[in-house]
Chains A and B, each alone.
Chain A
Amino acid sequence: QKEVEQDPGPLSVPEGAIVSLNCTYSNSAFQYFMWYRQYSRKGPELLMYTYSSGNKEDGRFTAQVDKSSKYISLFIRDSQPSDSATYLCAMRRGADGLTFGKGTHLIIQP
C-alpha cells in the first residue's frame, strides 16, 4: 500500500462546477497537509497548507482534513478553465521532505 493514494483522473467538469479532489493516506505520523497545483513543465505552486483537522478556506478553495479517517480534500468553487492543471496532495512529518500523491489531472470545460 502506498503512503498516499490519489486518483490520477482525468477529471473533467463543466465551467462553474464545484470540483472535489481527494487523497487518502496510511501514515498517521503526517502532521502537515498541502495542496499544490502544477501546470505542464512547471514546478508545483502551493495552494493550501493545513496542519489540523477541519476546514480552511482561501477564496474559491477549501481544504478539508480528517485525521481520524486519514482523508484530505480540496474543493474548488466556481471552477474556471484556467483551473485546468494537475493537483497534487502532499504531506509532511516534522521537518521531513514531502510525500506526494500521484496527482489528479483536472480539466475544466468552457
Chain B
Amino acid sequence: GAVVSQHPSRVICKSGTSVKIECRSLDFQATTMFWYRQFPKQSLMLMATSNEGSKATYEQGVEKDKFLINHASLTLSTLTVTSAHPEDSSFYICSVSQGLGQPQHFGDGTRLSIL
C-alpha cells in the first residue's frame, strides 16, 4: 500500500495565488521529508529537506521565502508556493525515509499549473 500521501494531485490557479501542498507519511513517523520538483522532460531536482521541529534546509538556487516549508508533526510536511507565477508551474513531489541508510518513498506528486 501507499507509504506517502500527497494532496492535492492537481492545482490550476491564477498568477499571484499562494498554493499549499501537503505530504503525509502514512506508515511511519518521519523526522525528515524531502521536496523535489520535476519540469517536463527533466529529472527530479531536490528543492529542500524538511526537518520536523526546525527550519528546512534549501538547495542552492531555491528561494526559501518563495517556497515555505512547515514540518509541524512527524507525519506531515507542507510546501507553500507563495505568489506563484507561470514559471513555477511544475510537478512537485515529496518523499519520506525511515532514516539513515533507508530508501526514500515518494508520493504521487502535485501538478501545479499557474495561468
A interface residues with partner B (beta carbon < 8 Å): 6, 8, 32, 34, 36, 41-46, 49, 51, 88, 90, 92, 94-103
Question: In the complex, which residues 51-105 of chain B have their Cβ closer than 8 Å to any Cβ of chain A?
Answer: 59, 91, 93, 95, 97, 99-101, 103-105
Q: Which listed residue, A32, A43, A101, touches B43 by the CB 8 Å rule?
A: A101
Q: Which listed residue, A42, A95, A97, A100, touches B108 by the CB 8 Å rule?
A: A42
A43-B109, A95-B32 as given contacts; A49 in contact with B100, CB under 8 Å: no
A98 B93 Cβ-Cβ under 8 A: no
Min distance, Cβ A30 to any Cβ of chain B, angstroms: 13
A99 B46 Cβ-Cβ under 8 A: yes
Interface-centre pick from A42, A97, A99 (highest chain B CB count, 10 A): A97
A102 B108 Cβ-Cβ under 8 A: no
Size of the B side of the interface (Cβ < 8 Å), in residues, is 28
A51 B101 Cβ-Cβ under 8 A: yes
Provide the main secondary structure of the chain B interface.
strand
A sample of 14 inter-chain contacts (CB < 8 A) reads A32-B103, A34-B103, A36-B106, A41-B109, A41-B111, A42-B109, A44-B44, A45-B106, A46-B103, A88-B44, A94-B100, A95-B97, A98-B104, A103-B43
A43-B6, A46-B103 as given contacts; A98 in contact with B44, CB under 8 Å: yes
B100 A95 Cβ-Cβ under 8 A: yes
Q: Which residue of A lies closest to B91 (CB)?
A: A41
B interface residues with partner A (beta carbon < 8 Å): 4, 6, 32, 34, 36, 41-46, 49, 59, 91, 93, 95, 97, 99-101, 103-109, 111
Q: Which residue of B lies closest to A102 (CB)?
A: B43
A100 to B59 CA separation, bound complex (whole angstroms): 14
A44 B106 Cβ-Cβ under 8 A: yes
Min distance, Cβ B4 to any Cβ of chain A, angstroms: 8
B108 A43 Cβ-Cβ under 8 A: yes
Task: Give the 7 A-B residue pairs with the shortest CB-CB distance, closest first.
Answer: A97-B46, A43-B106, A49-B103, A100-B43, A43-B108, A102-B43, A97-B34
**Which residues does chain A contribute within 8 Å of B44, judged by CB atoms?**
44, 88, 98, 100
